[in-house]
């Protein structure tokens, strides 16, 4: 496998996760273009690693399964649409081998984030901090939870166990 593919596999996914978390924290949105880029990079790099059609199908099945579950959660009002799409794109990268770990970690991190935000929203925040628009949004009890942060953290935590990192170090 060419070095450029190794570097891309090793760096692009973590950078995308950092961007997703920062975007959701600061704006409470996950850009559709980020999800599209994640899918496009996966589709581009997977064949360059020697992944065959069967491997691609299993990764797509993992992404599809998470998309179905995530959109049920979206329909119930538990997560946003961007969160659902991001979760599916991450599961596409993880494949069946790491998707379960990703989903479990996302649930744990999402619960911890929710508890943190509930506590944060009950505290008095100093004026010099609350003046920041993104802090105001997070502190507002009527605002949702930026689950993209938990999804990105779960993706980064599961990523070292994924086939991608095994390819780059193996």
DSSP letter for 17, please.
H
| Averaged pLDDT for residues 155-169 | 82
The domain in which residue 55 lies consists of: 3-169
pLDDT at 138: 93
| Averaged pLDDT for residues 92-117 | 96
pLDDT per residue as tens digits for the range 135-148: 999 999 999 999 99
Q: Could you tell me the pLDDT band of residue 168, with boundaries at 50, 70 and 90?
A: low
Q: What percent of the chain has pLDDT over 70?
A: 95
Number of domains in the chain: 1
Q: Is the pLDDT of residue 149 over 70?
A: yes
HEC readout, 37-84? HHHHHHHHHHHHCCCCHHHHHHHHHHHHHHHHHHHHHHHCCCCCHHHH
pLDDT at 123: 93
List, in sequence order, the alpha helices (H) in the chain. Answer: 3-27, 32-48, 53-75, 81-120, 127-130, 133-139, 147-158, 163-169
């Amino acid at each position: 496998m060419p070095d450029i593919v190794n570097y891309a596999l090793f760096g692009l996914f973590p950078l995308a996760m950092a961007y997703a978390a920062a975007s959701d924290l600061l704006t409470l949105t996950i850009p559709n273009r980020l999800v599209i880029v994640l899918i496009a990079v996966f589709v581009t790099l997977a064949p360059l690693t020697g992944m065959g059609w069967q491997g691609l199908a299993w990764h797509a099945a993992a992404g599809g399964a998470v998309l179905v579950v995530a959109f049920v959660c979206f329909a119930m009002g538990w997560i946003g649409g961007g969160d659902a799409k991001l979760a599916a794109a991450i599961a596409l990268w993880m494949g069946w081998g790491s998707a379960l770990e990703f989903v479990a970690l996302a649930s744990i991190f999402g619960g911890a984030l929710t508890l943190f935000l509930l506590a944060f929203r009950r505290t008095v925040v100093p004026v010099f901090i609350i003046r920041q628009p993104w802090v105001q949004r997070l502190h507002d009890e009527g605002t949702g939870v930026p689950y993209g942060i938990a999804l990105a953290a779960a993706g980064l935590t599961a990523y070292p166990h994924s086939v991608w990192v095994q390819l780059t170090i193996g």
